[in-house]
Structure 1
Amino acid sequence: MSSIPSRESLPYRDCVGIAVFNAEGNVFVGRRKSDDPEKSADYDAPWQMPQGGIDAGEDPLRAALRELYEETNISSVSLLAEAPEWIYYDLPDEQLGKALKGKYRGQRQRWFAFAFTGTDGDIDVASPGGGKFHAEFDAWRWERLSRTPSLIVSFKREAYERVVEAFIDIPQRFTHA
């Protein structure tokens, strides 16, 4: 029986999060794909915005654009904003030593907001990058930013509330344009 590492002994994984806004001021959310039907029962809310790790030496903005393309096939965007500080979340105790390859206590995320300048037809979560990348979502939709904390797994809810705070003014930019 392996012992669970202490939370304090594990670092946070540096990642990016991406809020992509369409012309109506709604954000892209994808439904997490599970290869294991039993695993999906572990998630109380499988919808989230794209996110992923920052590679060693990689600039966070570059990582955000890369992750967005790898998860959604979206490449037609323009930068709207960057959250003013890192946003953190911790894994629940039962996932420590298991999730995130067992190496991290959670994530430290740099969030970016982009305007989507393409068409919905550009989005391909089933075969992103023409099939070059592993599909992480099995469905997607546009959603109000304010609703995203209620769609995410509970342990990430506080982080999503901080994302909403950081980008609260962006949806109005579209509706009043």
Structure 2
Amino acid sequence: MIDKEGYRPNVGIILCNSRNEVFWGKRIRQHSWQFPQGGINHGETPEQAMYRELMEEVGLAAQHVRILGRTRDWLRYDVPNQWVRRDWRGNYRGQKQIWFLLRLTGRDCDVCLRASTHPEFDAWRWNDYWTAMESVVDFKRDVYRSALTELERYLERDATRKHGTARLFGQVHHHE
């Protein structure tokens, strides 16, 4: 489902733990780290798509998280031509995303990268909320910064926020 401007509706997920560190997933067989994201199916709300993608990519259900906030408007990025499927060329420009900020209320061991038959990630880690973006594909970096900037205020409002020093690089969890 592509809109008239050439953007596919999508959701992005910033999942944070009790220390306000954020979940980063490593794309299978790539040295590229990203937040969970995925398309919104016909008839789905952004929130329904977010919960579906969270289960498919991270193995977490609604009872494992609490929504802290979401972006007010769509954030867009254009995909370079060489990344566009041949049959989409000419009418596809990129993604438009609603971003959600979630608090993990479950445990690290609830994360399961093999929850779907087509896993997206082969490792994951917790990182500081504002970490370097070098490992994110360059055409997504501005949207990541915009989403993190807009949603950061919800962390300050979250009454369960714990203070502590966030590690720059957390332990990487590999799936065997």
Higher relative helix content: 1
More off after superposition, 45-54 vs 88-97: 88-97
8 A Cα contact 2:26 2:121, kept in partner: yes
**Is 2:130 aligned against 1:146?**
yes
Counterpart position of 1:164: 148
Per-residue CA deviation, residues 114-164 of structure 1 (Å, 9 max, x unaligned), is 110111111111x11xxx431100000011221163331001011111011
8 A Cα contact 2:10 2:37, kept in partner: yes
1:150 match: secondary structure:
coil
- Where do 5+ consecutive residues of structure 2 fail to align? 165-176
**Is 2:23 aligned against 1:28?**
yes
In 2, distance between residues paired with 1:59 and 1:122? Answer: 25
Counterpart position of 1:175: 162
Per-residue CA deviation, residues 24-68 of structure 1 (Å, 9 max, x unaligned), is 00111100113xxxxx4xxxx610010000000101001001101
**Is 2:58 aligned against 1:63?**
no
What's the TM-score, normalizing by structure 1? 0.79
What's the TM-score, normalizing by structure 2? 0.79
2:134 match: secondary structure:
helix
Counterpart position of 2:168: none
Cα shift at 1:170: 4.2
Question: Where in structure 2 are the equivalents of 1:83-98 lying within 5 Å?
Answer: 83-98=71-86
Q: Cα RMSD (Å) of the superposition?
A: 2.3
Counterpart position of 1:19: 14
Paired residue total: 155
In 1, distance between residues paired with 2:132 and 2:66? Answer: 21
In 2, distance between residues paired with 1:158 and 1:72? Answer: 24
Counterpart position of 1:104: 92
1:145 match: secondary structure:
coil
8 A Cα contact 1:16 1:109, kept in partner: yes
1:175 match: secondary structure:
coil
| AA partner of residue 151 (structure 2) | F
**Is 2:135 aligned against 1:135?**
no
Aligned partner of 1:47 among 33, 38, 62: 33
In 2, distance between residues paired with 1:11 and 1:163? Answer: 21
* Alpha-carbon distance change, 78 to 69 in structure 1, aligned in 2, over 3 angstroms: same
Cα shift at 1:14: 0.3
| AA partner of residue 49 (structure 2) | A
More off after superposition, 56-65 vs 85-94: 85-94
| AA partner of residue 95 (structure 2) | Q
Cα shift at 1:85: 1.2
In 1, distance between residues paired with 2:142 and 2:100? Answer: 17
